[in-house]
Amino acid sequence: GHHFIPFCIIISPSVWHKNYPVAQGNRQSPIDIVPHQALHDPSLGPVVLNYDQCTSMNITNNGHSVVVQFDDSDDRSVIQGGPLDNPYRLKQFHFHWGEKGCHGSEHTVAGNSYASELHLVHWNAVKYKTFGEAATAPDGLAVLGIFLETGDDHRWLHVITDALYMVKFKVSTTVNCFNPKCLLPSSLHYWTYLGSLTTPPLHESVIWIVLREPIIVSEKQLGKFRMLLFTGEEEDQRIRMENNFRPPQPLKGRKVRSSI
Ligand SMILES: NS(=O)(=O)c1ccc2oc(NC(=O)c3ccccc3)nc2c1
Ligand SMILES: [Zn+2]
């Protein structure tokens, strides 16, 4: 019969180290966060998010997640405070999810995973000229991680999930100004540690700030992520985009600090 060679070869996290040796480095992400082993650091101030005039540009299915990109040509949307020495500019946010139930987050808390995890990716535009340069520097990026738990409908997430059918295949569409501040939980208590990008190139350039309180989204809203495809429209095989999360990596002596 017709032997289909899928164009999009899904590379499993367990073999990433062949092309990216840093996958076995000393500050890889995600990790399992063990709350009572985290160090409460009273010198850790609150995280401050100034996303006021955010200008979201487009929403893209890049083949391994769905990404909302922002205009980062100035300091209009920044995160600062907490463990950060400078303000970091918002570049994009994206999600990780599973095919069902409560698996899908990248970070886990005392071995428990959530249904999904939102990552707000920021870069240090004070010290570096471009995102690309910051992405290879040890203090170049700051990613805010927010867990998603299933329950009632999230009143603002529908702005994103309603746009997903337009990026079912690997394409991009514009989305008018969406302020990700509406995706934050009520408490900004966080854990923080030094880590990496969780997908290739896995650069060890991320100061992770993971919020303790999850946001609640409905199964229906999550389901819309699961109907996304890794494959493009032209490809015969329909490979659903799910389980795009990397499992927890060894702590290798790192300390997790908590603001709590
Ligand atoms: N899961 S993660 O660790 O948050 C993570 C993992 C891999 C990533 O690659 C990029 N690149 C850009 O955003 C980018 C945006 C525009 C131009 C160049 C790069 N952000 C990432 C975040
Ligand atoms: Zn991510």
pLDDT digits (tens, 9 = 90+) for 144-189: 999 999 999 999 999 999 999 888 887 888 888 889 999 999 999 9
Rounded to an integer, the average pLDDT of 97-114 is 93
Q: Of 41-50, 99-108, 130-139, 186-195, which range is least confident? A: 99-108
Q: Of 29-38, 152-161, 168-177, 192-201, which range is least confident? A: 168-177
Token reading at 131: 């995102």
Annotated catalytic sites, by residue?
Answer: 64
Residue 197: nearest ligand to its CA? Answer: 1
pLDDT digits (tens, 9 = 90+) for 53-94: 778 879 998 888 899 999 999 999 999 999 999 999 999 999
CA of 121 to the centre of ligand 1 (A): 7
Q: Is the pLDDT of residue 5 over 70?
A: no
CA of 67 to the centre of ligand 1 (A): 9
> Which is nearest to 14 in space by CA: 239, 243, 247?
247
CA of 2 to the centre of ligand 1 (A): 37
CA atoms 197, 60, 129, 123: torsion sign: negative
Average pLDDT, the chain: 91
Supply the residue whose CA is at minimum distance from atom 13 of ligand 1: 92
> Which is nearest to 117 in space by CA: 42, 214, 48, 248?
214
CA distance 108 to 95: 15
Rounded to an integer, the average pLDDT of 109-131 is 97
Is residue 30 reached through a cis peptide bond, with omega within 30 degrees of 0 on the bond before it? yes
pLDDT digits (tens, 9 = 90+) for 215-255: 999 999 999 998 887 777 777 777 777 788 899 999 999 99
| Residues with a CB atom less than 6 Å from ligand 1 | 91-92, 119, 121, 131-132, 143, 197-199
pLDDT given at position 2: 55
For residues 251 and 227, the answer to whether their CB atoms sit within 8 Å is no
pLDDT given at position 253: 97
Residue 60: nearest ligand to its CA? Answer: 1
pLDDT given at position 7: 57
